[in-house]
């Protein structure tokens, strides 16, 4: 058999900020590419192999480098430890567990949209996508919504630390980030002390009150809270921002959705397929492994590129088109296998509520002239810095 | 038509019980389960085929 050709791609130079579809197209030319820190798995079958064989492609090894001060339960673990955390947490995030939150969260979304309508314009990221997921977190944890801005500040500091990897952030910013992370850590420690042993309906109280064999330690509980902050807030924010950007720039799709809100679930999936906000899932091989005909030594870093796998032409017809009527949409934006996003049902609910209530009230909007939404890059996640929208019919140009 | 879910493959994406709620349901953990013996009523055939085709893990199979 001929040796497969493995292209080498400098990911830092990809045109992700303004032309991410072009970047994904470049990466999609081969199912496996060499990148700066190892390999990019981009074919859907190859990504599936990586994500469904956690004993060969380890998460624990991959997350060692993140340098989190607390164990990121269960993200940075492999089975069987990971299985235990997963079994404990899953019931709190199942569709039937989150359904009772729907009316409250819908009311919160409407409360965020109303002032935007009054203004006639917004930065969608700052005014809606960035704050709603934080409110959802506070609601789940039984914390007052007026802590929202404090949490946004803490979250940004912690995410800034991990995004920069400690290497590129300037000293003052890094120091401030550490300071804020320490504040969040202290706050969560105190909260855990307060909630343990007390009855409560919120997720944190319920998790803390689990008896043996599921009882978790304070350290595990803090890791869990950090995980919710790291995995649950900016992901939904970025998915919403990127999805709204596509809609704002595509009159036909926007009109189709606004005219038929029953399309919201299908549109949510399609926009998620095109723009997974956490499109890079890192793993490290535990032994020699073969991927797409290439033999990799133990210790090789292989990253699943979900946005590219979601555009695999063998799986999706016209993969670069936005199509709310795909008969099959087996996208893997929530990952697959044992680490499939624990919060996917909650994330879907949040997105459904925003797309539905927004388009019910704001059928027309467009990117504010003179502004250009840009994806921050290079970074471990994909999202817009800002998305300035003007409400109403776009004037003819 | 009769369907079954391979619980060793299902990771709880939850699409089956959204697409075909009369044939699939969720357990306490959000995993998909077949309702009853998995025999699909004629009126639900399209919905179930849709669910089968959309399962990201390929965990649903059609039994003879």
Q: Sort A397 into a burial class: Cβ within 10 Å, 0-12 / 13-18 / 19+.
A: exposed
Quote the minimal CA–CA distance from A87 to chain B in Å. 8
**pLDDT tens digit at each of 397 positions of chain A:** 567 789 999 999 999 999 999 999 999 999 999 999 999 999 999 999 999 999 999 998 887 655 566 667 778 888 888 888 888 888 899 988 999 999 999 999 999 999 999 999 999 999 999 999 999 999 999 999 999 999 999 988 877 776 544 444 567 777 888 888 889 999 999 999 999 999 999 999 999 999 988 899 998 898 888 888 888 899 999 999 999 999 999 999 999 999 999 999 999 999 999 999 999 999 999 999 999 999 999 999 999 999 999 999 999 999 999 999 999 999 999 999 999 999 999 999 999 999 999 999 999 999 999 999 999 998 888 999 999 999 999 888 6
CA distances from A164 to A227, A346, A379 (A): 18, 28, 8
Four-residue CA torsion sign, A236, A240, A246, A249 = negative
Quote the minimal CA–CA distance from A286 to chain B in Å. 22
ipTM summary value: 0.85
Is residue A5 in some structural domain?
A: no
Is residue A220 in some structural domain?
A: yes
Is residue A251 in some structural domain?
A: yes
**Is the CB of B11 less than 8 angstroms away from the CB of A90?**
no
Query: Residue A164's pLDDT is what?
Result: 47
Report whether the peptide linkage leading into residue A213 is cis, meaning its omega lies within 30 degrees of zero. Answer: yes
CA distances from A325 to A256, A268, A350 (A): 11, 12, 21
Report whether the peptide linkage leading into residue A74 is cis, meaning its omega lies within 30 degrees of zero. Answer: yes
Task: Provide the domain limits for residue A339.
Answer: 11-391
Residue A387 belongs to domain with CATH number: 1.10.630.10
Q: Decide yes or no: CATH 3.40.50.2000 for domain B2-63.
A: no
Query: Residue A379's pLDDT is what?
Result: 87
Query: Residue A83's pLDDT is what?
Result: 87
pLDDT tens profile B17-27: 988 999 999 99
Is residue A126 in some structural domain?
A: yes
Is residue A6 in some structural domain?
A: no
Is residue A3 in some structural domain?
A: no
Is residue A396 in some structural domain?
A: no
Residues 6+ positions from A59 with CB-CB distance below 8 Å: A75, A76, A77, A78, A82, A282, A283, A339
Query: Residue A2's pLDDT is what?
Result: 64
3-state secondary structure of B13: coil
Is residue A338 in some structural domain?
A: yes
The DSSP element (H or E) to which B31 belongs, if any, is none
Total tally of structural domains belonging to chain A: 1
**Is the CB of A91 less than 8 angstroms away from the CB of B29?**
yes
CB atoms within 10 A of CB A80: 7
Contacts of B30 in chain A (CB under 8 A): 90-91, 93-96, 345
Partner residue facing A327 (CB), from B13, B29, B53: B53
Query: Residue A224's pLDDT is what?
Result: 85
Are β-strands A38-41 and A301-305 bridged in parallel, bridged antiparallel, or unpaired? parallel
Q: What is the pTM of this model?
A: 0.93
Partner residue facing B13 (CB), from A87, A327, A344: A344
- Contact between B23 and B47 (Cβ < 8 Å): yes
HEC string of chain A?
CCCCCCCECCHHHCCCCCCHHHHHHHHCCCCEEEECCEEEECCHHHHHHHHCCCCCEEHHHHHHHHCCCCCCCCCCCCCCHHHHHHHHHHHHHCHHHHHHHHHHHHHHHHHHHHHHHHHCEEEHHHHHHCCHHHHHHHHHCCCCHHHHHHHHHHHHHHHHHHHHCCCCCCHHHHHHHHHHHHHHHHHHHHHHHHHCCCCCCCHHHHHHCCCCCCCCCHHHHHHHHHHHHHHHCHHHHHHHHHHHHHHHCCHHHHHHHHHCHHHHHHHHHHHHHHCCCCCEEEEEECCCEEECCEEECCCCEEEEEHHHHCCCCCCCCCCCCCCCCCCCCCCCCCCCHHHCCCCHHHHHHHHHHHHHHHHHHCCCEEECCCCCCCECCCCCCCCECCCEEEECCCCCC
Residues in chain A: 397
Q: What are phi and psi of A209, to 5 degrees?
A: -95, 5
Quote the minimal CA–CA distance from A173 to chain B in Å. 39
Query: Residue A107's pLDDT is what?
Result: 98
Alpha-carbon radius of gyration of chain B: 10
CA dist., res. A371 & res. A357, Å (int):
25
> What parts of chain B have a pLDDT lower than 50?
none
B7 interfacial to chain A (CB closer than 8 Å): no
- Contact between A180 and A158 (Cβ < 8 Å): yes
Residue ranges of B 13-52 with Cβ closer than 8 A to chain A = 13-14, 17-18, 26-30, 50
Four-residue CA torsion sign, A124, A125, A127, A131 = positive
């Amino acid at each position: 058999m001929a040796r497969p050709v493995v292209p080498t791609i400098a990911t830092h130079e990809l045109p992700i900020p303004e032309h991410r579809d072009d970047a994904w197209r470049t990466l999609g030319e081969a199912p496996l590419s060499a990148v700066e820190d190892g390999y990019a798995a981009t074919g859907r079958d190859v990504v599936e192999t990586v994500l469904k064989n956690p004993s060969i492609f380890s998460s624990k090894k991959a997350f060692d480098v993140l340098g989190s001060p607390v164990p990121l339960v269960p993200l940075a673990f492999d089975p069987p430890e990971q299985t235990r955390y997963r079994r404990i947490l899953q019931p709190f995030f199942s569709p039937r567990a989150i359904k009772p939150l729907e009316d409250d969260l819908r009311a919160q979304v409407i409360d965020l949209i109303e002032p935007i309508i009054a203004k006639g314009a917004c930065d969608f990221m700052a005014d809606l996508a960035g704050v709603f997921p934080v409110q959802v977190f506070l609601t789940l944890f039984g914390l007052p919504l007026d802590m929202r801005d404090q949490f946004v500040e803490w979250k940004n500091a912690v995410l800034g630390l991990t995004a920069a990897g400690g290497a590129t952030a300037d000293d003052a910013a890094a120091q401030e980030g550490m300071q804020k992370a320490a504040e969040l850590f202290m706050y969560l420690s105190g909260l855990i002390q307060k909630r343990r042993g007390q009855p409560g309906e919120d997720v944190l109280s319920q998790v803390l009150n689990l008896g043996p064999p599921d009882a978790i330690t304070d350290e595990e509980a803090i890791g869990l809270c950090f995980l919710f902050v790291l995995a649950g807030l900016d992901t939904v924010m970025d998915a919403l921002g990127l999805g709204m950007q596509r809609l704002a720039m595509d009159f036909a799709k926007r009109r189709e959705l606004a005219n038929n809100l029953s399309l919201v679930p299908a549109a949510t999936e399609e926009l998620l397929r095109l723009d997974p906000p956490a499109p890079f899932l890192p793993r490290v091989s535990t032994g020699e492994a073969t991927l797409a005909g290439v033999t990799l030594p133990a210790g090789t870093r292989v990253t699943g590129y979900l946005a590219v796998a979601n555009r695999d032409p063998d799986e999706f017809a016209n993969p670069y088109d936005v199509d709310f009527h795909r008969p099959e949409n087996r996208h893997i934006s929530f990952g697959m296998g044992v680490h499939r996003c624990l919060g996917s049902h909650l994330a879907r609910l949040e997105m459904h509520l925003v797309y539905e209530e927004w388009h019910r009230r704001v059928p027309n909007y467009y990117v504010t002239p003179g502004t250009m939404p840009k994806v921050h890059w290079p970074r471990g996640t994909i999202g817009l810095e800002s998305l300035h929208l003007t409400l109403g019919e776009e004037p003819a140009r | 038509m009769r369907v079954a879910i391979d619980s060793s493959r299902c990771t709880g994406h939850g699409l089956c019980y959204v697409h075909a709620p009369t044939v699939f349901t969720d357990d306490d953990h959000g995993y998909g389960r077949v309702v009853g013996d998995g025999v699909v009523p004629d009126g639900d055939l399209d919905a179930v085929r849709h669910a089968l085709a959309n399962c990201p893990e390929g965990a649903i199979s059609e039994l003879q």
